[in-house]
Amino acid sequence: MKSIIKSKVQIHLLFWILYYILEAYLDFYWSRYQFPDFTWQIRLQNTLLLELGYLLIKIPLAYLLLYVYEKIHFNKVIKCILYILIIILAVLGHRFFTHYIIYPYIYGVTETLGDKQPSGFINGLVAFNSFMDLIFMVGLVFGVEITRQKNMLKEQISQLKSEKLDQELTMLKAQINPHFLFNTLNNIYGMALKKADETPDVILQLSKIMRYNIYEAAEKSISIEKDIENIKDFLQIQKIRHHHLSVQLQESIDNPSQEISPLILIQFVENAFKHGVSESLGESFITIDIKLADGILTYSIENSKEERAHQHSTKIGLKNIRRQLELLYPKHRLTVENKTDRYIVQLKIDFNDTSNL
């Protein structure tokens, strides 16, 4: 709230400084023809003084009209009457200052019309000139304030969208295969009963995965090197669970520090095990190919499945993944082939695309 108020004060202060400079320049330029006998120093001094005096009328007028516009909740007719009354008072104040102070005390002459006839305090022409001077200023002030409010509203909407996106991504990440932990713990329990030598390694790999999911996954982005390392730990544990599994992982990364949203790539691997490999009764395989070249990621997974596996068993998992990709990488390309005996997934992300930012 303080930053918004501070910004409003700064914008309006800058406006009045620029407006004062503009009006002073125009009056100074006009005074060359109105008072040709005055030196430029006197004309400049007089111009600066009279514009300061006008600001004492214009600033209260502008903010009084803004207050009526924003805060007064009367019907339109009453608000229009208020606008008219305020502007009439402002025109009278403008005329009083011009007629009784500027000309006799600043310029030292009597105010005249274009035909050199003395001008009274109020008449049609001079009142119209005062009215136009004030309305021009009011239009500028309203334009600046309405523009500022629209920009502030856009920022608030953008912030709300960002917060909503973050909340949705957090929710989607929380949906990632919670059964993996329980299944792995059951395997470790069985290995511990058998006093298998691999038990400490499996516990270490599981702890690394949990650390990744708790800490690394909370970040908006991590290096692709860390993301691949998490996939490798996941595969090592799965090899112990699935003894008749053939795993091939190929990687070609030209920039290990390339940032990527965590838990995107691993979900395809989890999906391959949950709805493919885990349903296979005999020999099964999973082949993973990860390539990153010139900021373009090409990621493919191919895994075996039973011919009579449930045809729609991957819909929920893929729906989750697709939604995350839509939010994070709008211009990605994802293809999924559900063949008789295998699944083939191919993903392409261009990290150079600014729409991903």
pLDDT, one tens digit per residue, over 8-58 is: 888 888 999 999 999 888 888 888 877 777 888 888 888 888 888 889 889
Q: Looking at the structure, do residues 280 and 253 belong to the same domain, yes or no?
A: yes
Q: Looking at the structure, do residues 197 and 265 belong to the same domain, yes or no?
A: yes
pLDDT of residue 321: 82
pLDDT of residue 45: 87
305 neighbors 342 (Cβ within 8 angstroms): yes
pLDDT band at 72 (very low <50, low <70, confident <90, very high): confident
Tell which wins on pLDDT, 273 or 60.
60
Residues in the chain: 357
**Average confidence (pLDDT) over 220-247:** 85
SS3 call for 123: coil
Q: Looking at the structure, do residues 225 and 349 belong to the same domain, yes or no?
A: yes
The span from the first CA to the last CA of the chain, in angstroms, equals 27
pLDDT of residue 351: 92
321 neighbors 264 (Cβ within 8 angstroms): yes
Out of 103, 138, 165, pick the residue that ends a domain: 165
SS3 call for 237: helix
Q: Looking at the structure, do residues 76 and 198 belong to the same domain, yes or no?
A: no
pLDDT of residue 171: 58
**Cβ neighbours of 305 (radius 10 Å):** 23
Angstrom distance (rounded) from CA 27 to CA 67? 29
pLDDT of residue 205: 83
Q: Looking at the structure, do residues 45 and 188 belong to the same domain, yes or no?
A: no
Nearest Cα neighbor of 330 from 347, 355, 307 is 355
Q: Look at the alpha carbons of 68, 71, 74, 75 in this order and tell me if their dihedral is positive or negative.
A: positive
Angstrom distance (rounded) from CA 103 to CA 101? 6
Q: Looking at the structure, do residues 152 and 185 belong to the same domain, yes or no?
A: no
Tell which wins on pLDDT, 279 or 101.
101
Asked whether the predicted pLDDT for residue 176 surpasses 60, the reply is no
pLDDT of residue 183: 67
pLDDT averaged over every residue in the chain = 81
DSSP letter for 354, please: G
**Structural domain containing residue 183:** 177-356
- The percent of residues in the chain predicted with pLDDT above 90, rounded, is 17
Tens of pLDDT along 324-355? 888 888 889 999 998 888 889 999 999 988 66
Tell me if 170 is assigned to some domain: no
Out of 136, 165, 194, pick the residue that ends a domain: 165
Tell which wins on pLDDT, 137 or 189.
137
Asked whether the predicted pLDDT for residue 247 surpasses 80, the reply is yes
- Among 43-57, 105-119, 243-257, 285-299, the range scoring the smallest mean pLDDT is 105-119
Q: Looking at the structure, do residues 150 and 184 belong to the same domain, yes or no?
A: no
pLDDT of residue 350: 93
Please state the domain count of the chain.
2
Q: Looking at the structure, do residues 323 and 237 belong to the same domain, yes or no?
A: yes
Q: Taking the complete model, does pTM exceed 0.75, yes or no?
A: no
pLDDT of residue 291: 96
Tens of pLDDT along 104-162? 888 777 776 655 666 667 777 788 888 898 999 999 999 888 888 888 888 777 776 66
